[in-house]
Amino acid sequence: MKRRALAAALTAAALALSACGDGAGGGGGTGDSDTLTEIDYYEAAPQNTQLPKLLDACGAEAGVKVQHQQVPRAQFMPKLLQQASAKAVPDLALIDNPDLPQLAATGGLVPLTGLSTEGLYPSIVNAGQYQGQTYGIAPGVNGLALYYNETLFQQAGLNPPKTWDELTAAAKRLTQGTKYGIAFSAVGTEEGSFQFEPFFWTAGASLKQLDSPEAIKALTLWKDLVDAKAASKSVVTWTQADVNDQFMAGNAAMMVNGPWQLPTLNKKTDLKFGIVPIPIPNASAKPVTPLGGEVWTVGKSNPEREKKALAVLKCLLSQEKSLEWSTNAGYIPSNQAAAQQLATTNPQLKAFVEEVATAQARTAELGTAYPKVSEALFNAIQACLAGGKSPEEALKAAQAAAK
């Protein structure tokens, strides 16, 4: 990010938080090195119940107490950027992987040169890098796959779709009355971009050219599904949690969603569902899904605090703890061996594990420019599905905004 843009972002963050204060669990600073600070944005189970347990266990192993703080997602990055401007980033921060370049650009993070990334998926390692150095490492990741209602598919005599044509045909056939064939999130936030990117990238599109023929083809797929009423017009307001609610209620025969929904879905014992990879345009296309999940970072403080923070982080990233976290929180381990082990013991995760191997970090093409381009992209989706613009018009405007 250019210096002027970064300064503007930091100023905006400071103004946004001036009314609510900094709260507990601020930056590492030079205080008691036996107590480390940690920050994340998990607001719901199982993540917000499992993480404190791991922090306590790894803190004890490293001989420190970890002070945990949860901040609402909307306030999270503004708060961290404000702390970075004050050179007071927490000792440990678990951040969404696309936000890593922006935070690393402030100079407030410690390069994780002492931690090994051997055995991790290359795409996961790439997601934690900025200007050739590793500043973040993910304990586990997530992605998107296609969930389908097995009962409805059996009644219709259908197999799970593998291509876009099969997806469209199945969605139309399974649409009856108030029940839609498919649900996805096209909300005007990063969630909307995240859900669209599997179709966007698999079509061969690039975030560097939002109005390419390949990008138009992907957005046309979504528009056709909505226009045919195989997907509800409300997808422009549905978050991924809303999509999951629609699927659980039987209002959608298929949905695009992630593994973090499994703990909730599995509680509904009368719902029989299967999971397959995101359908591709044709049999020869390469499946590419966005790499979801968070990376651990270490804030700059002093050598003693940084050393202890790295010791806690080494524990959190161990194969044992990575597998524990992923199993309990609905993630895929970053360690390839652990991921394969989990896929064997839990068939529900097989599709997600398959996709991780070819997943792409959202910042891989653009680095610190990603948030601006993502905003242009989800605005284009909204303009097309809710605003009446054609895919070509919406994406042309998005490309202009992204520049």
Which tens digit of pLDDT belongs to each residue from 45-97? 888 999 999 999 999 999 999 999 999 988 999 999 999 999 999 999 999 99
Average pLDDT over residues 124-144: 93
Q: How confident is the prediction for the chain on average, in pLDDT?
A: 90
pLDDT at 17: 34
Say what the pTM is.
Answer: 0.82
Q: Please say whether the beta carbons of 121 and 66 come within 8 A.
A: no
pLDDT at 27 over 80: no
Q: pLDDT class for 385, splitting at 50, 70, 90? A: very high
Q: What is the DSSP code string of 74-122?
A: HHHHHHHHHHHHTT---SEEEEEGGGHHHHHTTT-B---TTS--TTB-H
Amino acid, res. 100: L
pLDDT at 74: 87
Amino acid, res. 359: A
pLDDT at 174: 98
pLDDT at 304: 96
Q: pLDDT class for 387, splitting at 50, 70, 90? A: very high
pLDDT at 372 over 70: yes
pLDDT at 24: 37
Instruction: State the Cα torsion 273-274-279-282 to the nearest 10°.
Output: -120
Amino acid, res. 308: K
**Among candidate residues 74, 79, 71, the one with its CA nearest the CA of residue 41:** 71
pLDDT at 114: 86
SS3 299: strand
pLDDT at 30: 52
For residues 246 and 344, what is the distance between their CA atoms, to the nearest angstrom? 29
pLDDT at 289 over 60: yes
Q: Please say whether the beta carbons of 322 and 139 come within 8 A.
A: yes
pLDDT tens digits along 340-358: 888 898 999 999 999 998 8
Q: Please say whether the beta carbons of 261 and 330 come within 8 A.
A: yes
pLDDT at 328 over 90: no
Q: pLDDT class for 31, splitting at 50, 70, 90? A: low
Q: What is the DSSP code string of 49-60?
A: HHHHHHHHHHHH
pLDDT at 11 over 50: no
pLDDT at 14 over 70: no
pLDDT at 357: 84
CA angle, 47 then 50 then 56, to 5° = 135
Peptide bond into 333 cis (omega under 30): no
Q: pLDDT class for 166, splitting at 50, 70, 90? A: very high
